[in-house]
Structure 1
Amino acid sequence: MAYSFLEKEIKRTFQGLPETLPCGSRVFSGKVRDIIDLGDTLVISTSDRISAFDRVLSTIPCKGEVLNKVALHWFSRTEDILPNHIIESVTPRTVAVRKCEMLPVEVVVRGYLTGSAWRDYKAGKPVSGIALPSGMQMNQRFETPLITPSTKAEQGLHDEPISSEEILRQGLVDPAVWDTVQKAAIALFRRGTDDCARQGLILVDTKYEFGILNGQVYLVDEVHTPDSSRFWFADSYDQQFRAGKDPHKLDKEYLRQWLMDKGFMGDGEAPEIPDEVRIETARRYVGAYEGITGTTFTPEAGGLDEVAAVDEYVKKMR
């Protein structure tokens, strides 16, 4: 996967929208996305910023466009399971969406014992309040997917696991809504698992976010993207697992692993990420796009004046 265009694209990564658009509209920035609130509608632009361990660290060429296009692919593939917030595309990295009341928890669904779930399990801790059977191995597949919710922390802080029982006890989500969300999350994960399997990929785990609009639960934010999900290559999983080796991965775990090898896990000063690591991370993102969608990625956003395009759309919609 050479993707020689990344050498050009790294020189024009998109840091994000300015705090205020030329038309005067204010921009609210998260770790990766920039949002303009137009009342009933939000305009969401996905930058090339990359975060790991809840810290914004650098930019990755084509990342925002990849994330936006992968999310749109999955929103289209899952609209029969649950309605989503998408209204229309504005640019290759920007969409207009329905404004929903966001649920105060993220819904993580896990198909395999890996990542933070494995670290908790190895330390003898329950995973989001779930006691797992003894004797499980790292990267082992669960018989049925697990829902392991987490809190939504402020930027710069860490999300924390929370059990379904605690969500209901604290009154964070209405019980009927939570029941709908859990059923939808499992259905979404199974759809993603089946689609990825046809492309030779394993959907390992993922994060969903949900919102409420007019009493209806909506799927919002992003779906099965390299930022919200882990993917492994299916053809080598069994062999790697039996050998006790890490699966071959297709996601930003490459960057997380590079950071951990440098001794960084979110605390203290982050190491500077060299261009070769940024480009290799971009290759993983583009490869994920092509692996998931079965189509060739052609960069469109790099030569676009994103600020002008979003500004023009906002002026039209106000």
Structure 2
Amino acid sequence: MRSGNETSSADFILLGLLSRTNAHMFFLALILLAFIAALSGNALLIFLIQVDSSLHTPMYFFLSQLAFMDICQSLIVVPKMAVGFQTSDNPISPTGCGSQIFLVLTIGVSECLLLAVMAYDRYAAICNPLQYPVLLSRKVCLALTSGVWIAASADALILTASTMHLPYCGSKEINHFFCEVPALLKLSCSDTSQYETLLFVTGTILLLIPSSTILASYACILAAVLRMKSTKGQQKALATCSSHLTVVVMFYGAAIFMYMRPSSYHSPEEDKIVSLFYTIVTPVLNPFIYSLRNKDVLGSLRKWFGRCRAFQKN
């Protein structure tokens, strides 16, 4: 038996986001503030979608799935990261490291695929409004989300098993704030070229193909919007789509930068910044992007606050 503050030789050591300085507690406070904002913002969005019947549409169903993914991503990364800010070392067992890789990849790939599904939803709503209830029926929505989670889990399982199967016979210090595939590849004492090829192929399939679907959907949407005679209709369609495109650009840009480059082009500092962006910053921004630019969500929020005030008065 080993005591709680001892580290096994088999454990990895997470070096964390920043070097320990006088200001590191300030950065910890900022990260925890962002963590709370991400949890509360996404939880509030899910709550509003569940309680307001006017939001029981395919678009908001997929949006609630996105909010749930953002909550999971924050919970997977931030608590362990916060521990690293307060200790001289931050050990993580091979099992814990593999679990973190699997969960982060599952959520990340799910979000990539879901954003493509959401683009198809907007395409069906704007370009085929009469067939929309059939094209995105409840059964279809459930089937699409199930497919997203199954495909993401299968891909994450393959990549995680391949990563943890690599021999790590040198340093066990991971220059990152959580277990991520590119950071672990630098520690392997074997030839990782075949694995990098597998990573590139899966990245091409799960990033470029969905992004191509998104671009094709929005090309059709733009053509349909330009044909609209109603200015209000054009503005509403563009407002809805611009929110989604903002999230797509942020998430896909970070994911492509991280997983579509050879390991020799990765630097620890760049990887940490990009990972920080899509694991912490994006979950904070998503609910604000979708709520502040969405009249339906803001209207639902006002109604909910109105009911709370009326209940307090009574």
Query: TM-score normalized by structure 2?
Result: 0.30
Structure with the largest fraction of helix: 2
Q: Which has the larger radius of gyration?
A: 2
